[in-house]
Structure 1
Amino acid sequence: MNIKIRLTLMNFMQFFVWGAWLITIANYWFGTKQWDGAQFGLIFATMGFASLFMPTITGIIADKWINAEKLYGILHVLYAATLFYIPQVETPNQFFWTIFLAMCFYMPTISLSNSISYSTLKSSDLDVVKDFPPIRVWGTIGFIAAMWITNLTGSKASANQFYIAGVAALALGIYAFSLPKCPPSKLIEEKSTITQKFGLDAFKLFANYKMALFFIFSMFLGGALQLTNAYGDVFLDEFKLFPIYAESFVIKYSTIIMSISQVSETLFILAIPFFLKRFGIKRVMVIAMLAWVFRFGFFAYGDPQGNLWMIIFSCIVYGMAFDFFNISGSLFVETSTTPKTRSSAQGLFMMMTNGFGAVLGSVVSGWMIQKYFTKAYTNIQSLADHVKATTTDPHLLKFLEDKGISVSGNGDLSRALDVKDWHNIWLSFTIYALAITILFMIFFKHKHTKAEEKAIEAITH
């Protein structure tokens, strides 16, 4: 089989096994399990925790002791086994540790898949810069395909989403052993310190005021990255509480609606060269931050009928918000560091956004939503008032029935039903993103350098 096709299949499956549950896990947590919302933030924090150390550990192993494709396959098999076990978990604490274990196996495979692709393309005398992007874009397509399959099979609130991901991960793990050999490069020097091996010496960059400021803002913006992944689908799904929206397309196919974000992501990548050449790195960063403001703001005022366009636009601007900051930030790091510290600095950038930032955003948002924006209804009439319905409304009763909640003769619910104030949740995220943007514009003083102009010129050609 053509080597490009083989790598394309690997990249497609790499993100398929993540997309099958990442966007819909909140429906399982809040809808099927009815667990506490404050603890849900910790579930998305597991990705940040795992990203802090696992990619480095597996990178060292692949560099010194074992072929990258074999390690990649082993990790996916272990990831699959963990996914198969998730539906058996009965408590939030056990769920946290199980997802954390799954993330410890999965997160390193993202960087390993890139390493395998680079190594294989180079050994086949192909141009990495030219040939890898068209291969990598199939990863996003795989993520979208997984979201659609989970939604169309009626699995977005059930344990089936983990089985779908598990079967695919097992197949990918087995397939990985057939990939071209990527033997250890043994590039890590024996005399390297533990600090150097883990890339922690990059923290010396904090001694530079501008770099320190950039990394701090990266962390705070990274806190916003997982918010819509964590809560976007369940936000749309909970519109079924309102009878006027209960049978709308958005409710039935909320995951497909959310997949517009990933489609947008692939399209905005094509626009980056134009924006960088016209506006420069700092302004592109600011545009990305403003896009996050609109991402949350449109969600705050959107609904499945009259303001459906806001939900659609929110998904569209996500591509700009995500791509523009990640790529312009990476370019800033690339042009502001020396060759000796460049790789470590890029690792630190990823650590601050996907590690510390993800943990910060996930934990704080979970606590904040549960404490300030969630109300527990114990009486059917109070819930009916909330949704502007009556106890005889068939949509409301069906919703309660789907939740496994029976209504007693006196109108009390058998257990409390949590209802979230999504408007103010998204509004608070909007204010947060706007504050970060304004502070960044004020404190991050930056002018173009010749190195940046050269890097931008290279991208645009």
Structure 2
Amino acid sequence: MKAATRLQLMLMMFLEFFIWGAWFVTLGTFVLHNLQHTNDGHVGQAFLSQSFGAIIAPFIIGLIADRYIAAQIILGILHLLGAALLWYGSTLTDFTAFYPLIILYMILYMPTLALVNTVSFRQMKNPSKEFPPIRTLGTLGWIVAGLTIGYLAWEQNGKLDLTFKMAAIASVLLGLLSFTLPHTPPTRKNQKITFGEIIGLDALRLLKNKSYLIFFLASIAICVPLSFYYNFTNPFLNEIGMKAAAGKMALGQGSELIFMVIMPLLFVRLGVKKMLAVAMLAWVLRYVFFAYGNVDAGYWMLIGGIVLHGVCYDFFFVTGQIYTDNLAGPQFKSAAQGMITLATYGVGMLIGSYISGPIVNSYKTGETSHNWTSVWLIPAGIALVVLVLFVLLFKDRNFIQQEDDEAVDSIGA
């Protein structure tokens, strides 16, 4: 890969995740404190917007990016439209007006997660080695966003509306940058298209692979407890008195950055199954730390739970993206990446967001206080069950990623 291309892809990843991290981490706190007449249930509803976007994403990717319009062009259009919605959303103070707008925004944003992967993978000969360093810049973008919010004390000063304006500016920059990215044309242009292909069913052929089916179902299940982390960690940390919570949460992305760098070595040594299993175990430990941590003697447990996010995310999501890319074949890579986005951020987090809000609300002990120990042990238990079932049912064999265009061994025969 040319150095200039690598630099473009790194900047693309940085902005992609800076935009997301700029407002998403503090969304729960924003809903509870910046919007009128809201409760924990509204937090869960707000995070459902991500799932709705993820469910629709494969249809946008499968219909357009694989067939009609170059991926980088779609990426630019979606981010420019998203920028306008983010800026307008920052001016709203009522949940009934904010909710449909954030749903519309996420319908535009979630397909871009698959698009940046598609643009990246299409420039690579060896994704398992070349992708992690580039994806690392996405993690750095999320960290910079969190540190900025913490440094400027927008949480404590009730100015979280500025997070949406910051994200909108970054979205304009990425929208413009996208039109300069390497040309990533449709892979099936001028080919006959069936109805099943139009709605993205072509990528479902991957589920005929029994191991990939287990991975797909585990991806859905593990994202149920993940939604507890995304939805309520920031409100939880602010409630128990952690200062600059968004900035502290960026430590999770710092951990993610470190593990992203060493992932190529670990990937070769551990293989797919062990990487995924370690990620699920880290999920269990994270919620146990949150359940028993506090801002006094148990402060290290809170920080430990945050730092474990690097293992949770890298070992599961990035490994899953590489696994999916290797199994998909050249014609269906975009649709396959969209499908795994559907499984994780779509179906899994949809279920998690539906149940997390009522669960947290049911453990309310006062106007603004909760029994957080009981709350966090619930996602810990769910993650433990998923881990045990995955270890028992998933089978894989080590694969060798060739440096040239030779065929890659299947990961889950």
Alpha-carbon deviations, 1:323-348, whole Å to 9, x = none? 21234445655677777877755543
Preserved contact between residue 132 and residue 260 of structure 2 (Cα < 8 Å): no
Say if 1:180 and 1:278 are closer, same or farther in 2 by CA, change over 3 A: closer
In the alignment, structure 1 segments of 5+ residues that lack a partner are 241-250, 378-416
Preserved contact between residue 60 and residue 188 of structure 1 (Cα < 8 Å): no
Say if 1:135 and 1:212 are closer, same or farther in 2 by CA, change over 3 A: closer
When structure 1 is superposed on structure 2, of 139-148 and 89-98 the one drifting more is: 89-98
Instruction: Please name the residue that 1:194 is paired with.
Output: 195
Counterpart AA for 1:196 = E
Aligned mates of 1:130, 1:434 — CA distance in 2:
30
Work out which structure has the larger RCO, using CA pairs closer than 8 Å and 6 or more positions apart in sequence.
Answer: 2
Counterpart AA for 1:216 = L
Say if 1:66 and 1:264 are closer, same or farther in 2 by CA, change over 3 A: same
Preserved contact between residue 188 and residue 197 of structure 1 (Cα < 8 Å): no
Indicate the structure (1 or 2) with the bigger Cα radius of gyration: 1
Instruction: Please name the residue that 2:250 is paired with.
Output: 259
Q: 1:143: Cα distance to partner?
A: 1.1
Say if 1:65 and 1:207 are closer, same or farther in 2 by CA, change over 3 A: closer
User: After superposition, where does 1:114-125 map in structure 2 within 5 Å?
Assistant: 114-118=117-121, 121=123
Q: 1:430: Cα distance to partner?
A: 1.3
Instruction: State yes or no: 1:356 paired with 2:347.
Output: yes
TM-score (ref. length: structure 2)? 0.85
Aligned mates of 2:369, 2:4 — CA distance in 1:
52
Q: 1:220: Cα distance to partner?
A: 0.6
Q: 1:293: Cα distance to partner?
A: 0.4
Counterpart AA for 1:31 = H
Aligned mates of 1:26, 1:56 — CA distance in 2:
28
Say if 1:278 and 1:3 are closer, same or farther in 2 by CA, change over 3 A: closer
In the alignment, structure 2 segments of 5+ residues that lack a partner are none
Say if 1:141 and 1:170 are closer, same or farther in 2 by CA, change over 3 A: same
Say if 1:333 and 1:19 are closer, same or farther in 2 by CA, change over 3 A: closer
Preserved contact between residue 300 and residue 423 of structure 1 (Cα < 8 Å): yes
User: After superposition, where does 1:86-165 map in structure 2 within 5 Å?
Assistant: 86-118=89-121, 121=123, 132-156=131-155, 157=158, 158-165=160-167
Counterpart AA for 1:305 = D
Aligned mates of 2:215, 2:204 — CA distance in 1:
13
Say if 1:149 and 1:368 are closer, same or farther in 2 by CA, change over 3 A: same
Instruction: Please name the residue that 2:273 is paired with.
Output: 282
Aligned mates of 2:313, 2:274 — CA distance in 1:
15
Task: Indicate the SS of the match to 1:21.
Answer: helix
Aligned mates of 1:435, 1:6 — CA distance in 2:
41
Preserved contact between residue 26 and residue 234 of structure 1 (Cα < 8 Å): yes
Counterpart AA for 2:138 = G
Instruction: Please name the residue that 2:370 is paired with.
Output: 420
Preserved contact between residue 225 and residue 322 of structure 1 (Cα < 8 Å): no
TM-score (ref. length: structure 1)? 0.77
Preserved contact between residue 67 and residue 184 of structure 1 (Cα < 8 Å): yes
Q: 1:2: Cα distance to partner?
A: 4.1
Instruction: Please name the residue that 1:388 is paired with.
Output: none
Preserved contact between residue 206 and residue 212 of structure 2 (Cα < 8 Å): yes
Counterpart AA for 1:200 = L
Instruction: State yes or no: 1:432 paired with 2:382.
Output: yes
Task: Indicate the SS of the match to 1:252.
Answer: coil
Counterpart AA for 1:454 = I
User: After superposition, where does 1:170-319 map in structure 2 within 5 Å?
Assistant: 170-177=172-179, 179-180=180-181, 182=183, 184-185=185-186, 187-203=188-204, 206=207, 210-240=211-241, 251-319=242-310
Aligned mates of 1:333, 1:14 — CA distance in 2:
21
Say if 1:214 and 1:79 are closer, same or farther in 2 by CA, change over 3 A: same
Task: Indicate the SS of the match to 2:380.
Answer: helix
Preserved contact between residue 67 and residue 181 of structure 1 (Cα < 8 Å): no
Count of residue correspondences: 399
Say if 1:188 and 1:39 are closer, same or farther in 2 by CA, change over 3 A: farther
Q: 1:55: Cα distance to partner?
A: 4.6
Aligned mates of 2:73, 2:267 — CA distance in 1:
39
Select 1:454's aligned residue among 378, 381, 400: 400
Counterpart AA for 1:374 = K
Select 1:167's aligned residue among 163, 166, 169: 169
User: After superposition, where does 1:3-152 map in structure 2 within 5 Å?
Assistant: 3-33=5-35, 34-58=37-61, 60-118=63-121, 121=123, 132-152=131-151
Task: Indicate the SS of the match to 2:25.
Answer: coil
Instruction: Please name the residue that 1:373 is paired with.
Output: 363
